[in-house]
Amino acid sequence: MIDPSDHRLRQREYLLQISRALTAQLDLVSVLSLVISYAVEMTAGTSGLIALYDEEGSDELRIRASARLPREEWPAFARLLTLPLSDIPQRGEQILREIAADTGLTLRQMIALPLVLRDSPVGVIYVFRAALNVAFSSDDRHVLQDFADQAAIAVSNARLYQSVLREKQRLDAIIEQSADGVMIIDSRWRITTFNRAMEQLTGWSREEAIGRPCAEVLGIENGQGVNICLADCPLQRLPLAPNPVVEGRITTRDGRQLYVQSRYAPQRGPQGQFLGAIANVRDITAQKQEEELQNTFISVISHELKTPVSIIKGYASTLRRDDVQFTTQQYREGLEVIEEEADRLARQIQDLLDVSRLSAGGLRLDPADFSLAALAANVVRGFAPSAGEQFQFELRFPDDMPPVHADYERTRQVFANLVSNAIKYSPEGGTIRIGGWPEGDVAVCYVSDQGAGIPPEEQEAIFRRFYRVDNRLARETQGSGLGLFLTRAIIEAHGGQIWVESQVGKGSRFVFTLPLGRRKLPEEPGEHSPHGAVGPADAVIDR
């Protein structure tokens, strides 16, 4: 027999231990295991289980932990969980006998008490005994009820902690998967969170970045090379902005130069003290480059459009003067200049219209089969007289070159742009070669020169809209930076590709592909080279 006074003393000790243990636990599974283990020991039971209602408000109980009951036997207690607590005195023993018969467990007595917090049911504790000679007393029930009240608080706290933990994990996942760089800084401006996008953006690993001052890791600089984060931190400016933004250049850990925008969400205390901030950092290098190119384009195009207009106006004003007598030759020369400048102005306007069409959804093509060699000869014939004697033109196509299937006028525009560039960027003259050959179901074509060449780091950029190579020769030559952009757009609209092979000081070779036609065209009359050119019939294949 258990001495009642010893039993009550043990119960009080258990309550004290339980109170301490439960306040130290926040993991729900650990709390539940602790609760049911102490409940069984405290009431001298042989086994027990604890069932909880779902957090969503369901009235269905689900077993979450047990003491000395194998998990595989839990389903047998489902019929007990559906029994209201008020019916247990009348029907509980019968159900207990049925469960014992089904499982082979020794279950002869039961006590069940609700877990309630602020009048809201949390769950139920069930304790079982194998013996019949010692019944659960009212004192057992009383002590267990006190314990159940504490257990309900502990379960609720553990659930709240689990909910907060889930929310934190969800927010951590959102931060980690964000396309923008995200870092969180504390009240001392030291980094506490650093996501994967920030690692890629800055070149710093999170292990190195966390704990360091944000000014050291990010280090945004203004146009004068001053670290804004040190000299003019946006989180320290007065008056305080609700969401300060700063833009500038950074040098990444691996040496890249980027232009970034950092947008801050500061956290402040009741007296306005700085508690920390979340920074969203975005790479806007491409956007800034586009803005710079557009500004350059506006400047260049305004000059390019004004120049022919000024020349046309100047010559027209001169020719209409009554106080000067011009010869027929002078009139003719003046009108030729006016015509040339009008053509140049028309070409520039056409380029702008083509760019506008591209932005609106692409270029319209009217494909047909034609001879590429004949078109190239035609283009050369137009450029040769004005190019000067320092240039030689060579056409290099095989005699059996099949026709291409493409838009004739757009293809002419491609050759014209490439030949024009070859002339402009070859100040010393030289040989300009235009050729091609069939390869599979495409024609591989090229235009090469012996001019200034293009640095490797700019060979992809030259195909961007408004881009011009940054050198003295480019600044001294006319152009809006649209020619190669349109050339690539035309080639790609045909399903082809274009690229450049170049060495500084040794010239450039622009190579592109066009689809071949399906039939062989008859030789066209007049398919001959202009002065200084090698005709298709005498072509040398230059691959």
Checking if the pLDDT of 197 tops 90, the result is yes
Checking if the pLDDT of 539 tops 60, the result is no
Rounded distance, CA 226 to CA 216, Å?
A: 13
pLDDT for res 5: 61
For the four alpha carbons of 347, 351, 356 and 357, in that order, the dihedral sign comes to positive
* Range(s) of the chain covered by CATH 3.30.450.20: 181-283
* Angle subtended at Cα 123 by Cα 122 and Cα 129, rounded to the nearest 5 degrees: 150
* CATH number 2.60.120.10 given to 367-538: no
pLDDT for res 526: 44
pLDDT digits (tens, 9 = 90+) for 19-38: 666 666 667 788 888 888 88
Rounded distance, CA 298 to CA 295, Å?
A: 5
Q: Terminus-to-terminus CA distance in the chain, angstroms? A: 106
Rounded distance, CA 67 to CA 54, Å?
A: 21
Instruction: Tell me what the mean pLDDT of segment 70-88 comes to.
Output: 92
Rounded distance, CA 44 to CA 36, Å?
A: 12
| CA-only gyration radius of the chain, Å | 42
Q: 132 or 302: whose pLDDT is higher?
A: 132
Q: Which residues are paired to 265 by β-bridges?
A: 278
Checking if the pLDDT of 358 tops 50, the result is yes
Provide the pLDDT confidence category of residue 531 given band limits of 50, 70 and 90.
very low
**Range of weakest confidence among 29-33, 136-140, 259-263, 423-427:** 136-140
* Omega before 239 within 30 of 0, i.e. cis: yes
pLDDT for res 193: 93
* Assigned fold of 4-169: Beta-Lactamase (3.30.450)
Instruction: Tell me what the mean pLDDT of segment 339-363 comes to.
Output: 71
Rounded distance, CA 406 to CA 355, Å?
A: 20
Does the pTM surpass 0.75? The reply is no
* Range(s) of the chain covered by CATH 1.10.287.130: 288-360
* Angle subtended at Cα 318 by Cα 315 and Cα 320, rounded to the nearest 5 degrees: 110
Portion of the chain with pLDDT greater than 90, in percent: 33
- The most confident of the ranges 117-121, 346-350, 461-465 is 117-121
**CATH of the domain spanning 181-283, picked from 3.40.190.170, 2.40.50.140, 3.30.428.10, 3.30.450.20:** 3.30.450.20
Rounded distance, CA 462 to CA 469, Å?
A: 7
Provide the pLDDT confidence category of residue 14 given band limits of 50, 70 and 90.
low
Neighbours of 153 (CB within 10 A): 17
**CATH of the domain spanning 288-360, picked from 3.40.720.10, 1.10.287.130, 1.10.357.10, 2.60.40.2580:** 1.10.287.130
**Range of weakest confidence among 279-283, 311-315, 359-363, 442-446:** 359-363
**Range of weakest confidence among 10-24, 433-447, 509-523:** 10-24
The strands making up 120-129's β-sheet, listed across from edge to edge, are: 61-67, 47-53, 120-129, 109-117
Mean of the per-residue pLDDT values of the chain: 82
Checking if the pLDDT of 54 tops 70, the result is yes
* Range(s) of the chain covered by CATH 3.30.565.10: 367-538
* Of 390, 336, 392, the residue nearest 530 (C-alpha): 392
Rounded distance, CA 15 to CA 157, Å?
A: 18
Checking if the pLDDT of 519 tops 70, the result is no
Instruction: Count the helices and strands in the chain (H runs, E runs).
Output: 15, 16
* Range(s) of the chain covered by CATH 3.30.450.40: 4-169
> Who's near 265: CB < 8 A, 6+ residues apart?
243, 277, 278, 279, 280
Provide the pLDDT confidence category of residue 100 given band limits of 50, 70 and 90.
very high
Q: Report yes or no: 253 and 204 within 8 Å, Cβ to Cβ.
A: yes
pLDDT for res 301: 64
Checking if the pLDDT of 265 tops 80, the result is yes
Instruction: Tell me what the mean pLDDT of segment 301-323 comes to.
Output: 78
